[in-house]
């Protein structure tokens, strides 16, 4: 074949390609008929797409474009993904053995285990809880349990190196033969207790605010305190909705409880479309309070939120109060456990409403006479924990499984910390509101 023949054939092919390409692809015909197509809905620039038509048959290119747009529109139209399974909290229950008389604990004394900090830097917190629990025992002595049995408290120390608390819990279960265990507001100890309880079959009443203690749907744990999530939402609504503040400082400790609480507050702020929260994380074992105070004061906060232990809050709050006398302070439950300064003023906690609670007034009066100080929020809950266990024991007798059932059935119990009712997962259903502290 001559060069001219090959050229003519090439020219024919080129002319055929040119003639074919002049016909509009199917995708172009679609957009010509639909000029109002919402290009702005696409999260990516269409200009990024390049199809070298010289390398594709035009019909195939049109089909590819149509497929891309159809797939994108299908993604927009799809509903949000749903979990493949949900475990309803109403389904949390215990159907195992242990309710027969053969599993009743023996002896004239029914023991309640009490896990609290009894040594170290948090000794005062533990003493306050035990003093309140002792008041509850004295009140219950007026109404003995069936068969003349009496209640007693067996305290165990959760302080010390990691792992000590779990050993003390095991001692309470097997050596002390406690019918139930009350834990302090420390989240890590509550988690250890519920793990042991799920294996040994013993009720746990915890003062912890950690919401994850009851999210894993174990039937043995009952929580009295408002969760970190409930506190965070109450704080955020007051800050961003009621007061319409913007410059908010969050101070959190670097431990388990500080991390969980600060995450809940950040989440609550995002749900209200609030400005980003300036967060300062401190290590109580290694920090410079003066440097932290200087950094925070430079930001001129309109409100301060403390997700710390009470020792840290007690050291920082007075300095900020002098500099910002009108700014509201919000204390998480742990930050509010120290002996409060009655001159604190515009300071708030999230707690059940106590208006008209005669038992609370009586408890506060007797506690101040005994301890010489105003009761902390956790002290009132420790008092309630012992008394509601006593009320449940009058129905169940000294049997751990039956006691669990009696606690789960408890409803509208009037305590010094508010009205107590549990759902099937062990959450206290009391409404939470902002309360001026102290």
Task: Specify the range with the lowest mean pLDDT, choosing from 110-119, 265-274, 409-418.
Answer: 409-418
CB 290, CB 262: distance < 8 Å: no
Q: Is residue 362 domain-shared with residue 222, that is, in the same domain?
A: yes
156, part of any domain: yes
Give the pLDDT score at 352.
87
Same domain for 233 and 222? Answer: no
In a domain, 248, yes or no: yes
365 shares a domain with 218: yes
Asked if the structure places residue 198 within a domain, the reply is yes
Q: Indicate if 116 and 187 belong to the same structural domain.
A: yes
3-state SS assignment for residue 341: coil
Average confidence (pLDDT) over 107-115: 95
Strands 109-116 and 303-307: unpaired
How sure is the predictor about 215, in pLDDT bands with cuts at 50, 70 and 90?
confident
Q: Is residue 129 assigned to a domain?
A: yes
How far apart, in whole angstroms, are the C-alpha atoms of residue 86 and residue 76?
A: 25
- pTM above 0.85? no
pLDDT digits (tens, 9 = 90+) for 9-60: 444 434 334 344 445 555 555 555 555 545 454 444 544 545 454 554 556 5
Q: Is residue 57 part of a domain?
A: yes
Same domain, 272 and 145: no
C-beta separation of 223 from 427 below 8 A: yes
171 or 15: which leads in pLDDT: 171
282, 316, 332: which is the final residue of a domain?
332
356 vs 160, higher pLDDT: 160
Q: Provide the CA 184 distance to its chain's centre, in angstroms.
A: 16
Q: 82 or 183: whose pLDDT is higher?
A: 183
Picking from 34, 67, 100, the residue at the C-terminal end of a domain is 67
Q: Per the domain annotation, does 300 fall within a domain? A: yes
Please state, for a pLDDT cut of 90, what percent of the chain lies above it: 56
156/187 same-domain check: yes
Query: Which residue intervals of 26-110 are DSSP H helices?
Result: 26-33, 58-77
Same domain? 210 vs 96: yes
Domain end (from 299, 332, 365): 332
**435 domain residue, yes or no:** no
Q: Give the range of the structural domain holding residue 24, as residue numbers without chain letter.
A: 3-67
- Name the pLDDT band for 424 (thresholds 50, 70, 90): confident
Same domain as 279, residue 205: no
Radius of gyration of the chain (CA): 32
Task: Identify the CATH number of the domain in which residue 163 sits.
Answer: 3.40.50.2300
Q: Could you tell me if 369 and 313 lie in one domain? A: no
β-strands 418-420, 109-116 pairing = unpaired
pLDDT at 16: 39
Number of structural domains found in the chain: 3
- How far is it, in rounded angstroms, from Cα 266 to Cα 70? 38
Whether residue 34 lies inside any domain: the answer is: yes
């Amino acid at each position: 074949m001559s060069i001219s023949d090959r050229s003519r054939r090439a020219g024919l092919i080129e002319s055929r390609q040119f003639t074919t390409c002049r016909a509009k692809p199917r995708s172009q015909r679609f957009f010509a008929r639909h000029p109002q197509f919402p290009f702005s809905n696409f999260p990516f620039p269409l200009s990024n797409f390049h199809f070298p038509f010289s390398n594709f048959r035009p019909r195939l290119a049109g089909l590819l474009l149509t497929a891309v747009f159809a797939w994108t529109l299908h993604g927009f139209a799809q509903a949000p993904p749903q979990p493949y399974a949900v475990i309803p909290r109403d389904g949390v229950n215990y159907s195992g053995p242990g309710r027969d008389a053969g599993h009743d604990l023996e002896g004239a004394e029914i023991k309640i285990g009490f896990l609290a900090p009894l040594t170290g830097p948090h000794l005062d917190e533990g003493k306050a809880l035990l003093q309140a629990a002792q008041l509850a025992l004295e009140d219950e002595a007026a109404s003995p349990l069936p068969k003349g049995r009496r209640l007693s408290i067996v305290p165990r120390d959760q302080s010390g190196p990691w792992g000590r608390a779990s050993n003390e819990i095991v001692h309470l279960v097997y050596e002390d033969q406690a019918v139930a265990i009350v834990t302090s507001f420390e989240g890590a100890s509550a988690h250890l207790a519920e793990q042991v309880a799920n294996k040994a079959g013993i009720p746990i009443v915890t003062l912890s605010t950690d919401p994850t203690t009851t999210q894993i749907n174990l039937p043995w744990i009952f929580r009295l305190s408002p969760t970190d999530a409930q506190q965070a939402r109450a704080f955020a609504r007051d800050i961003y909705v009621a007061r319409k503040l913007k410059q908010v400082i969050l101070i959190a400790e670097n431990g388990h409880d500080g991390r969980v609480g600060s995450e809940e507050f950040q989440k609550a702020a995002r749900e209200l479309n609030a400005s980003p929260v300036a967060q300062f994380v401190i290590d109580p074992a290694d920090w410079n309070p003066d440097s932290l105070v200087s950094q925070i004061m430079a930001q001129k906060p309109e409100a301060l939120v403390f997700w710390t232990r009470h020792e840290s809050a007690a050291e920082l709050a007075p300095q900020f109060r002098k500099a910002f006398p009108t700014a509201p302070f919000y204390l998480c439950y742990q930050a509010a456990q120290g002996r409060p300064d009655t001159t604190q003023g515009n300071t708030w906690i999230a707690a059940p409403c106590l208006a008209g609670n005669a038992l609370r007034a009586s408890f506060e009066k007797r506690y101040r006479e005994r301890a010489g100080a105003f009761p902390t929020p956790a002290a009132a809950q420790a008092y309630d924990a012992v008394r509601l266990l006593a009320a449940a024991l009058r129905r169940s007798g000294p049997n751990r499984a039956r006691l669990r059932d009696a606690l789960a059935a408890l409803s509208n119990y009037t305590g010094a910390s508010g009205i107590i009712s549990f759902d099937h997962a062990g959450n206290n259903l009391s409404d939470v509101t902002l309360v001026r502290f102290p």
